[in-house]
Chains A and B, each alone.
Chain A
Amino acid sequence: SAVISQKPSRDICQRGTSLTIQCQVDSQVTMMFWYRQQPGQSLTLIATANQGSEATYESGFVIDKFPISRPNLTFSTLTVSNMSPEDSSIYLCSAGLGGTGELFFGEGSRLTVL
């Protein structure tokens, strides 16, 4: 298994600002992903964080808005840039060990944009 720590756990942000969310895994993992979960909704994949190279973004998400870093096999960051109230959501870091495809999740970062 993998234990994933995210910070901040929650934040209130002003429109137009940017916030970086950090994700730390307690073991080296093959895959790391960032999901968004809007109120009452399921998880939507933002991107796959690739170690040492640019992230792979899903349709509707772009690097300028959600820059992602993954400098090593245990750490990744997601930045939400130039925030608007529509970005208010929970952002979840997840990791996979390979094999079955099971994902482990961090506790999430709840962002409120005013």
Chain B
Amino acid sequence: GQNIDQPTEMTATEGAIVQINCTYQTSGFNGLFWYQQHAGEAPTFLSYNVLDGLEEKGRFSSFLSRSKGYSYLLLKELQMKDSASYLCAALPPGNTPLVFGKGTRLSVIA
């Protein structure tokens, strides 16, 4: 089975850095995704890690440690528009679709 844990809510200040953690326990694993979802909108793809290490894409970076079953999403120079839910999702093997965590609701305050 699949079990994905991430904090329910976080608050951070505009201009700061925030790290959203995700731990997963899966029977088979082919990669880790992060999605962003603004209220009332569809989730949009942020990042994908399949190998250990850090993937950087502008203000957003994602890290994966397969041996520890751990990932984090790092957001730098926070902007008010970054207020959203951030969903961690694990990719099982085969053609099985993504399994999502409950999401972390990030509030960016002035």
Residues in chain A within 8 A of chain B (CB atoms): 4, 31, 33, 41-45, 48, 92, 94, 96, 100-108, 110
In the A-B complex, the 8 residue pairs with the closest CB atoms: A105-B42, A101-B91, A42-B102, A43-B100, A42-B103, A42-B100, A33-B97, A107-B42
A-B contact count (CB 8 A): 50
Q: How large is the interface on B (under 10, 10 to 19, 20 to 34, 35 or more residues)?
A: 20 to 34
Can you list, as one digit per residue, whether each of B69-88 has a CB less than 8 Å from chain A (1) or not (0)?
00000000000000000010
Chain B interface mostly helix, strand, loop or mixed? loop
Chain A interface mostly helix, strand, loop or mixed? strand
B48–A100 touching, CB < 8 Å: yes
- CB contact list, B59-73 vs A, under 8 A: none
B97 / chain A contacts, CB cutoff of 8 Å: 31, 33, 45, 48, 94, 96, 101, 103
